[in-house]
Chain A
Amino acid sequence: MPTMNIIQAVNNALRIQMALEPKSIVLGEDVGKFGGVFRATSGLYDEFGEERVIDTPLAEAGIIGAAIGMAVYGMRPIPEIQFSDFIFPAFDQIVNELAKFRYRSGGQYPCPVVIRTPVGGGIRGGHYHSQSPEALFVHTPGIKVVIPSNPYDAKGLLLSCLRQDDPVLFMEPKKIYRASRGDVPENDYTVELGKAKVTREGDQVTLIAYGAMLHVIEEAAAKAAEIGISCEVIDLRTLMPFDIETITESVTKNGRAVMVHEAPQTCGYGAEICSSLYERCMAHLEAPIGRVCGFDTPFPYSLEHEYMPNAARVLGAIRKTLEW
């Protein structure tokens, strides 16, 4: 079985789907001959031609607007937004149009657009190459949000997204684009949407994260184990709709939990997860659910290392829940 990083896994999924579904069209800035600034669409232009792998003019609202028009016409567009920090010119097209098309037309016009976009910090990209705007889209009824944490899931989740009929924001954690490597089958397979994965079992504290932060909580769990604390680690994988059963079961069992993401804390994605857990697990909770998140500041450049949640801070939160 070949070893791939996330970029290669995404590329592999795109190639499989493009070959299988002639209606699929990749479009975006620099996705054609160049193969994307992160190389995720590398080779697709040569293999599938310029009508199906389109270098668009530099305008995100146009990329998403055109993708919507393609989808309602019956194509399967896969637009790329070069950085999720650049998604905001297309915010109206995503929030008011893409996510609402099926609903506002009474089901007449499904809009199966899968937007791929790199997300998150840790690459010394400063404010405009590091943000994590996922909660804004989770708060938008009508669109699904998926963030993989490893190459196997990246491929399987992306193929699942491309084979269902709802719009999806597929966010690729760029800090671990190349760093996360693993065995990825060359064959066609899918990973079910809406299902979290317990990546480590433990019976004291449940740690919940997604994307690049999954690796941070795994590191924290390993450090905790060294000092005799047993942590369960959950990779959410799909943020909307999220897997309420898996997290409820784990937190009910352990009575303690820590939620981690790099987006700002206030009204961040973790707020919803914590609230949902309080509603379901209150009687079993031994301590308030801890949150380790980005601060409520714009994403800093020089102090990025201080801004990003890390294993030490997660370990601190783990201790706090145990000592409460």
Chain B
Amino acid sequence: MKKVIISLFLVFTFGIYNTWAQCDESVRKAALQGMGDAQYIRDYSVNLTKSPTEVKTGQVKFNVMLNSRSQYRFNVVNGAANADNIVMQLYDQDRLLASNREGGRTFAAFDYIVRTSKVYQLVFSFPGGQEGCAEAVVSLVRQFSEGEMNF
């Protein structure tokens, strides 16, 4: 009987551990609200689970096609159980272009004005390889005409 209780206790505690990496629908809704007046393009569910044997920081990557002369908004909402805020970064292959963590501050969103149409990579991670969940939304803030791009 004791063994059964211990087993059930382990299942129970594992269950708690496991739910850390899940976001419910309210997080997605909050992310959709977070895009403000921008126009929805796509949303991403991020679930990172820390493996006991993992040495490297866990990361997840999504490829995203972005078009030139466009200002995109990348906003993210953390799951309530996250130990730390998620880091959201935009890469062009191995080149970091933008991050929501700047100068020790973490922002809920960043905008990126694209001047070259191509495939970019949106990368999510937790500091220290922690685990957790988040919902992110990519939206379109505005499109520029050719003459408006002289900045």
The yes or no verdict on A and B being binding partners is: no
